[in-house]
């Protein structure tokens, strides 16, 4: 373990996941072109990403079982092949049904990748490396968004729809070939563990994980923090910035790239904070969620296009939602036994994607209704229409905040029953301040003694 071959295997897995993220996010910068190609309404356009994410979310638990049964190598290579097929289908599609079929294949292949790559890590590396490599896998994979935002967007606008998506399909084929040729489920001489739970055992684990308040706290944490940034990057951010705010395509691409960079940079710092303050994880979730509410309110209440600095601030705050949503998985890990963490993680992962699905569709539906009613003279993607449509997020954010507070209370009651108490934040801050002052007094006293 921890050999050169292990790093090669992990590197190939990272590449496959990076390409999966590229496939997942590619439609976000193709929205305006897709509207013209398919003659699509806003609701129909949102359906491309909504259906893709529905497939992704629905397959999380089944894919986890298949990874246990067939191993990561088969699942990663199969996922890459499915995404390549989906992008070829999308390249050839000239009507909405054909395009949707392509996104279904992309969603299915995407669903197979991350879980399988994560499964490789403990099989190839010692336990001490697993947490940091898991975190790095998630962060490095987000570089795939930069590929979809910059090179893919350039090819799309310079050469057209079909060449751009054929290029993505070629990346999928490359990831499939590398995975099949270079990945191995475990080092030579070792046997990867195989779990063959039946449907009855799987259903029992699922029910038990759901009944755990900590699992539900993780799900609602993921729900509250993740969806707004996902909706922005995958579907409505690019049209909002270009057609609504009047930015040129290059500036919009830079802002979406900033979203990725900030998310990658903030992940380690947020993870370190959570490690030092495990009893304040839900507080961080609430702080990030309230910040998202505040910055959206500031943007949507502008009488005209927002100044660039405010749009940059919007991107910065939305980007925090990604790392903050990972706190939900930490709840799943710490409140469930090891044999049920995968199931609990699947439950948590559904939270943010469900919120994103609903919001994506509702934003598109509201845009269509407003356009049909003649609400704005500037057309379907006018700034006034986006203001009304994006306001739907406040309802979802409010539900998330209320649910986090409610489930946190249940978690703390459960902890108190086990003799673990969580002091109020003001008490904890006062105690921390007292300890710091005591430490400074001790240092000062020690210096005085040395002088004497």
pLDDT tens digit sequence for 394-418: 999 999 999 999 999 898 888 777 7
pLDDT tens digit sequence for 4-23: 888 999 999 999 999 999 89
- 125 contacts 13 by C-beta, under 8 angstroms: no
Superfamily of domain 1-188: MFS general substrate transporter like domains (1.20.1250.20)
Instruction: Compare 435 and 62 and report the one with higher pLDDT.
Output: 62
pLDDT tens digit sequence for 295-314: 999 999 988 899 999 999 99
Q: Over the range 395-432, which residues count as b (16 or more CB within 10 Å of their CB) and which as e?
A: ebbeebbebbeebbeebbeebeeeeeebeeeeeeeeee
Mean pLDDT, residues 431-445: 69
Residue listed under structure tokens 């009304």: 388
Q: How many CA atoms lie within 13 A of 69 on its CB side?
A: 10
Cα separation, 99 vs 87, in Å, equals 9
Instruction: Compare 124 and 213 and report the one with higher pLDDT.
Output: 213
**Number of other residues whose CB lies within 10 A of the CB of residue 206:** 16
- pLDDT above 90: residue 442: no
**Number of other residues whose CB lies within 10 A of the CB of residue 322:** 26
Mean pLDDT, residues 113-133: 76
Q: Which of 104, 314, 294, 140 is nearest to 229 (CA)?
A: 314
- 352 contacts 230 by C-beta, under 8 angstroms: yes
The residues, ordered by sequence, that sit 6+ positions from 88 with a Cβ below 8 Å of its Cβ are 102, 165, 166, 169
- pLDDT above 90: residue 289: yes
DSSP state of 142: T
Q: Which of 379, 403, 249, 393 is nearest to 317 (CA)?
A: 393
**pLDDT at residue 87, as a whole number:** 92
Residue listed under structure tokens 């969580």: 422
Q: Which of 45, 64, 47, 56 is nearest to 354 (CA)?
A: 56
- Cβ-defined contacts of 34-40 (< 8 Å, 24+): 34/99, 35/380, 37/94, 37/161, 38/93, 38/94, 38/95, 38/96, 38/99, 40/96
pLDDT tens digit sequence for 345-358: 778 878 888 898 88
- Identify the sign of the CA torsion 445, 446, 449, 451: negative
pLDDT tens digit sequence for 244-278: 888 888 888 888 888 888 877 877 777 667 767 77
**Phi and psi at residue 71, in whole multiples of 5°?**
95, 155
pLDDT tens digit sequence for 49-106: 778 888 888 887 777 677 777 788 899 999 999 999 999 998 888 888 888 889 899 9
1-188 shares its CATH topology with 207-421: yes
Report residue 209 as tokens: 């994980």
- pLDDT above 60: residue 1: no
Looking at CATH, the fold of the domain delimited by 207-421 is given as Growth Hormone; Chain: A; (1.20.1250)
Continuous segment of H or E residues that includes residue 215: helix 213-231
In the chain, where are the structural domains located? Answer: 1-188, 207-421
DSSP state of 391: T
């Amino acid at each position: 373990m921890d050999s050169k071959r292990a790093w090669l295997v992990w590197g190939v897995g990272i590449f496959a996941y990076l390409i999966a993220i590229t496939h997942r996010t590619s439609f976000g910068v193709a929205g305006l072109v897709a509207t013209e190609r398919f003659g699509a309404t806003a609701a129909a356009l949102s359906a491309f990403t909504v259906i893709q994410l529905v497939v992704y979310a629905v397959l999380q638990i089944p894919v986890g079982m298949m990874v246990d049964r067939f191993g990561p190598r088969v699942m990663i290579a199969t996922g890459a092949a499915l995404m390549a097929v989906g992008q070829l289908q999308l390249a050839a599609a000239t009507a909405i049904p054909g395009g949707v079929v392509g996104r279904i294949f992309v969603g299915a292949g995407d669903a197979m990748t991350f879980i399988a790559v994560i499964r490789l890590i403990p099989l190839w590396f010692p336990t001490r490396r697993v947490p940091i490599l898991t975190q790095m896998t998630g962060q490095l994979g987000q570089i795939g968004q930069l590929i979809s935002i910059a090179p893919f967007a350039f090819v799309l606008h310079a050469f057209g729809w079909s060449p751009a998506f054929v290029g993505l399909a070629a990346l999928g084929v490359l990831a499939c070939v590398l995975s099949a040729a270079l990945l191995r489920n475990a080092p030579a001489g070792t046997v990867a563990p195989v779990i063959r739970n039946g449907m009855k055992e799987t259903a029992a684990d699922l029910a038990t994980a759901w009944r755990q308040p900590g699992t539900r706290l993780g799900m609602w944490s993921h729900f509250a923090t993740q969806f707004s940034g996902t909706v922005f990057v995958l579907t409505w951010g690019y049209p909002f910035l270009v057609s609504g705010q009047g930015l040129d395509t290059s500036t919009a691409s830079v802002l979406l790239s900033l979203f990725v960079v900030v998310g990658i940079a903030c992940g380690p710092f947020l993870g370190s904070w959570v490690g030092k303050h495990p009893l304040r994880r839900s507080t961080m979730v609430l702080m990030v969620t309230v910040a998202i509410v505040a910055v959206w309110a500031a943007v949507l209440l502008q009488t005209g296009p927002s100044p660039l600095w405010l749009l940059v601030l919007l991107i910065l705050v939305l980007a925090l939602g990604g790392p903050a949503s990972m706190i939900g998985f930490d709840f799943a890990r710490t409140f469930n036994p090891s044999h049920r963490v995968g199931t609990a993680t699947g439950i948590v992962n559904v939270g943010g994607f469900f919120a994103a699905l609903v919001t994506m569709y509702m934003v598109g539906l509201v845009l269509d209704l407003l356009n049909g009613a003649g609400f704005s003279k500037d057309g379907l993607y006018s700034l006034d229409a986006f203001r009304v449509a994006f306001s739907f997020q406040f309802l979802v954010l409010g539900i998330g905040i209320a649910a986090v507070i409610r489930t946190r209370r249940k978690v703390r009651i459960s902890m108190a029953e086990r003799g673990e108490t969580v002091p109020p934040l003001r008490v904890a801050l006062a105690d921390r301040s007292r300890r710091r002052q005591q430490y400074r007094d001790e240092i000062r006293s020690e210096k005085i003694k040395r002088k004497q």
